[in-house]
């Protein structure tokens, strides 16, 4: 089945992993956890890391294990409003996205306001049909299979028609199990045993698609 749709993660996928935006979000989340649980930042970081394989996101872990009742406070405080202070310019990014002959949407575990700020900073918001954020499925995000099913239903696409690109293998695996195509953004390029094909950055995506033969001529 040829590809008919591209679904992109946002953070550390649309922009490079070495950007300080991702680390700033991580710092803010760790600080929130430390204050809420009354632990050190080092302990908070360890607790977040241990929870990730099971829950996929800090907010889901806090809601299900620590009774967080105000997810909006956590989400708003975790995502800086001044993204320009953390993001590197990328004048070629628009051309990269425009060159991919598929309709596109964003699927992120961040909030839509954050996605809008990042996409607007790079001048590419108009290239994406939808932004599916953490609120889309009631604060239950990737890697829950129900999230992918709901997104696919909204888009009217079968899994085999869609390529999902993300920088976390844990988020790609369920989509692949549904029958979708997946691609890992992995700038480190370390040897992998999970079978995921990888690119070093979003700039490599057009060439990868051309080599893949997944887009019908």
Q: What is the pLDDT of residue 217?
A: 59
Whether residue 192 sits in one domain with residue 140: yes
- Among 111, 46, 125, which residue's Cα sits nearest to residue 80? 111
Whether residue 137 sits in one domain with residue 35: no
Whether residue 96 sits in one domain with residue 78: no
Whether residue 192 sits in one domain with residue 102: yes
């990269």: which residue's tokens?
A: 96
Whether residue 200 sits in one domain with residue 130: yes
CA distance 207 to 22: 26
Residue 105 lies in a domain: yes
- Among 79, 82, 62, which residue's Cα sits nearest to residue 27? 79
Residue 29 lies in a domain: yes
Q: Which domain holds residue 188?
A: 5-17+89-212
Residue 217 lies in a domain: no
Work out how many domains the chain is built from and give that number: 2
- Which stretches of the chain drop beneath a pLDDT of 70? 217
Which CATH number do you get for residue 78? 1.10.150
Whether residue 110 sits in one domain with residue 10: yes
Q: How many CA atoms lie within 13 A of 171 on its CB side?
A: 25
pTM above 0.85, yes or no: yes
Whether residue 113 sits in one domain with residue 11: yes
Q: What is the pLDDT of residue 190?
A: 75
Whether residue 72 sits in one domain with residue 174: no
Which CATH number do you get for residue 204? 3.40.50.1000
Answer positive or negative: Cα dihedral of 95, 81, 42, 50. Answer: negative
Whether residue 94 sits in one domain with residue 79: no
H or E stretch covering 199: strand 198-199
């Amino acid at each position: 089945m040829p590809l008919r749709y591209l679904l992109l993660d946002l953070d550390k996928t649309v922009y490079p992993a070495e950007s300080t935006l991702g680390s700033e979000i991580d710092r803010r989340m760790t600080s929130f956890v430390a204050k809420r649980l009354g632990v050190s930042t080092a302990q908070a970081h360890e607790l977040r890391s241990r929870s990730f394989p099971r829950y996929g996101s800090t907010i889901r872990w806090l809601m299900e294990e620590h009774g967080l009742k105000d997810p909006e406070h956590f989400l708003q405080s975790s995502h800086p409003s001044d993204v320009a202070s953390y993001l590197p310019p990328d004048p070629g990014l628009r051309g990269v996205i425009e060159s991919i002959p598929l309709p596109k949407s964003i699927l992120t575990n961040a909030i839509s306001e954050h996605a809008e700020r990042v996409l607007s900073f790079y001048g590419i918001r108009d290239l994406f049909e939808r932004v599916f954020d953490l609120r889309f499925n009631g604060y239950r995000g990737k890697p829950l299979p129900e999230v992918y099913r709901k997104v696919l239903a909204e888009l009217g696409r079968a899994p085999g028609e869609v390529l999902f690109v993300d920088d976390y293998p844990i988020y790609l695996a369920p989509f692949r199990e549904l029958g979708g195509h997946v691609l890992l953004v992995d700038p480190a390029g370390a040897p992998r045993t999970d079978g995921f094909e990888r690119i070093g950055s979003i700039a490599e995506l057009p060439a990868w698609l051309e080599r893949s033969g997944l887009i019908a001529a």
